[in-house]
Structure 1
Amino acid sequence: MSSAPIAAAHARTLDLARRVLAIEAEAVQALADQLDDTFVKAVDLILASHGRVIVSGVGKSGHIGRKFAATLASTGTPAYFVHAAEAAHGDLGMITANDVLVAISYSGTGEELLKIVPLVKRQGARLIAITGNPDSPLAREADVHLNGMVKEEACPLNLAPTASTTAALALSDALAVALLDARGFGPDDFARSHPGGALGRRLLTHVEDVMRSGAGVPQVREDAPLGDALMEMTRAGLGMTAIVDTNDRIVGIYTDGDLRRSLASGCNFSTARVADVMSRGPKTIHAGALAVEAAEMMERLRISQLLVAAPDGHLVGALNHHDLMLAKVI
């Protein structure tokens, strides 16, 4: 096969892909342009609810609904997904009078959803419908209708749900983010909902969770020979040792950098005391601080180690840059 037909096929593929993206982008932009007080009413309806948000749909709308429910649940709005067909066979019992049902159907005529709507409303639950047809039966039954109509599908046949599902996804994301903002949901809340993620590690990991403690903390008395300090640094492998007084309060630190300066100054390692060459008044952090605070302090001060001190100055731990990396804080 010659290169010309292959090149033409590739060009057609790229043109089609660009057309799909353009159509879907236009569909989302059209939604942004037509947003009005109806959207605010939907947000207020959910905020006023004392129950949960139940999202329902079938087919591709059901897939969008599952993602919407998951986004709500992870951003401060208790929610779950119920398949419309399953709702008619027992799952309807999950819905209470205090709940809000969000029904997603582009046509607004889906038999499965329309079958459960009267039962849900009879229980006293409120209904938000997301459809592409404001005159559909589902839209007419809704307490609030959000119009997700698109001019055309991105499918060349104008049949497969493409732009319409993108529009429904974007509209549901907008609703979830508006609720997040209204509830004052912040990074700490998000971390508690995502303890296994990177943000959770950054916001829920404390210095005491990653620091060396007990015998793992290198330390010598301030009257110790410099050789003892070097041996302690080697033993612990932290690139430093804490210098403490007779009450175990931190008075200084001796690091790899101090060692290089000692060498450059011609220090007599056989006779020197660590108190003569240590860095006094080292920066410390408390065990209850967030590990990310330790990382920020190290970066700002351009240091690789930190001593962990109790409020009265007692040495309780130590950590270095590598400890934070192992904990995936940085």
Structure 2
Amino acid sequence: MDLLALADFNLVARHGGFGKASRAAGRPKATLSRRVNELEASLQLRLFERGGRLLKLTEEGRALFERTGQLLTELDEAATAIASGGGSPRGRLRISAPLLFSQTAMGKLAAEFGMQYPEVRLEVTTDDREVDMIEEAYDLVIRVNPKPNETLVGRAFLRDRLVVVASPNLVRPTEGVPVPAVVRGTGDRATAWAIKSEDANASISVDPILHLSSMIMVRDAVRAGIGAARLPISLVSQDLAAGRLAHWGDVDAPDIALWTLYPSRRLLSARVAAFLEHLREAFPKGTPDELAAYVGRAERVQPSNQRELPAAR
């Protein structure tokens, strides 16, 4: 099999079209098309469905892409490492992370990683949906309580738990009387929240009056005193310690687990391995308190660490 043709096939599959692949690689579109045609002819397989402006992998093309993409990446990394005399991480690293973790911790994590590994070009996108790592060319994804996936491997690196909080000025009503509630998203229509208690049936009746799209917005609304909410303890621990919020109870639900996931393969790229180690160093115990402390440090401005920029001319 022609490795150059296989590499060009992977380039086109990763970018979703000959035009995009041509612009990304700075290669003629006609050359990429010819190489892919030659590969299809040698394999006697159609790898792409071509129709109008759309280019879609066939079932055989998807299987070839999934099996050869990482192998070609590893070959390229091995050759680069040998040529440079070492295995220092370099190149592009694409990561998908959930919204709340991105808003509270990912900026600081990315900056620290970038300073430690200046030859890595880190790209982080925020998305709560289950992205397709192969189709969308991600090297690593961070997900909350992910479903089992036989094509991915990983581990939980952080755990959190939900608590019910409210402004200290909001009086907790008697049992059965609904409290105004702030919830995330439009689909939460719960009328009661189960909380951990000696009484297995303990709950708080709620009336969702405000639906917001992010946990940060929910927390800010609760701080303002409009109602109660279920929030991760790591997000509100400093507010609880400072008396800005009151703790009404722990939600009776499984812990929140943040996982790092990547395609199952024998060799792990130096970039991904370095970022996994970076996460382990940032959260060695993986506890909610650790995450809360990290978020607190990220929110505080450190003037001594700021770089001076030249004045505009």
TM exceeding 0.5: no
TM-score under structure 1 length normalisation: 0.21
Q: Which has the larger radius of gyration?
A: 1
Q: Greater strand percent: which structure?
A: 2
TM-score under structure 2 length normalisation: 0.22
Select the structure with the greater relative contact order (CA < 8 A; seq sep ≥ 6): 2
Q: Greater helix percent: which structure?
A: 1
